[in-house]
Amino acid sequence: MGIAVACGTPAAAGFLGSTYKDSKRKNMAMSCFGIGPPAGAASGFFMGGVCIVVLNWRAIHYFLSITFLLLSLLVAFNLPPDEKIDWAKAKQIFKGMDYIGAFISLSAFVLICFALTQVDATSKRWKTPYIIATLIIGIFLVGVFVVYESKVPTNPLMPMTMFASKNFNLSMMIASLSWMVFFGFLNYNATLFFEDIKNYKTMVVACCFLTQPIAGTLVNVFAGFTMHIIPGRIMMAIGCTGFLVACIIWATNSIKRNYFLGPFWAFCFTIIGAELIYNTANRCALSSVDRKYQSRAAGTFNTFCQLSSSVGLGLSTTVLASSFKYYGKPDQLDHIHEMFEGMKYVYYVAIGLTGLSLCLCPFLRLGVLGKTRNPQN
């Protein structure tokens, strides 16, 4: 799955970014592309629920296999053909790839994610020596990776020239904080709320999440038609505000509150945040580099989002485990009221993270995107 995401997402974003020139049509193309992550995730919940209820859990994987087979055929027959492979040139490219940088970065983030997610399973939590050791080594390797990429490889995995742009750096920071909240704090704990606290059946939980792809489609249409009118920094600020409102709704939610009076609106504001920030930050990443680096910029952006989701999940479970002593234990579901109160601390932390991302928005200098009209693209 990791290879599929790592190959497909940057290639798709790079293909769109290099095909369309900066224009209103590019805004629409990237907005359509932006529907994928949140709408796909929520649709996955729904289709998974349908498969489990109608057949069994294995049916999900058969369904996905058929889906990706059809997508592969569509790609093969519809995308413009690549240039004929020059195997001698390809061999030189493989020789010049930054394998050491890939190893260092992979090791760093595996250790960090391991420490954040495994801490809940240890009896001493943060007093466990190997948890502290892996976290420190992981953070140290991140620094080593940055220095290595700046000084050593001639063809770096992550060109440091991208980080020369203040807008790029701030956009990545805002996107990272937002994706930590989106997947790690809001969606993960929403699943716990519906399944464990409300005790909804699988199909009902799937229907609850349908709000996200529907709202996501509408927000992306809005972004596609307005990115050449509304400055990027305003888009980012609106997105951060959407996440902030969603966190506040969840933090003030009650067990007995009707879905349409609480979680429904939280999902709507969550998607406003996710879609606007994804579209704007992605466009900022692609516009900050030369055309030949489009796929790398998209890959860097996607990597930040994926790693931030993992880190956010680790932080979320750590906060919940520290505020709810039965978390992860066999009798967890016997204390749903204590679990619900413990989840509120998760949302308080999420409010702090989204507030920090909102505070970064005024420092952005992103104007309107795609103002130039290009009839050919």
pLDDT digits (tens, 9 = 90+) for 323-346: 888 777 777 778 888 889 889 999
What pLDDT is attached to residue 369? 66
Percent of the chain with pLDDT over 70: 92
Segment among 29-43, 134-148, 182-196 with least mean pLDDT: 29-43
Q: List % helix, strand, coil for the chain (3-state, nearest 5).
A: 80, 0, 20
Question: Where are the extended beta strands (E) located within 198-309?
Answer: none
Using the CB atoms, write b or e for 346-369: b if 16+ within 10 Å: bbebbbebbeebbebbeebebeeb
Judged against a pLDDT cut of 90, whether residue 278 lies above it is answered with no
In 3D space, the residue among 162, 171, 176 whose CA is nearest the CA of residue 360 turns out to be 171
Mean pLDDT of 154-169: 76
Statement: residue 375 has pLDDT above 50: no
* Average pLDDT for the chain: 82
The pTM score is: 0.79
What are the tens digits of pLDDT across the range 221-257?
A: 888 778 778 888 898 999 999 999 999 999 999 888 8
Under 8 Å between Cβ of 285 and 301: yes
pLDDT attached to residue 352: 94
Q: Is the pLDDT of residue 45 over 80?
A: no
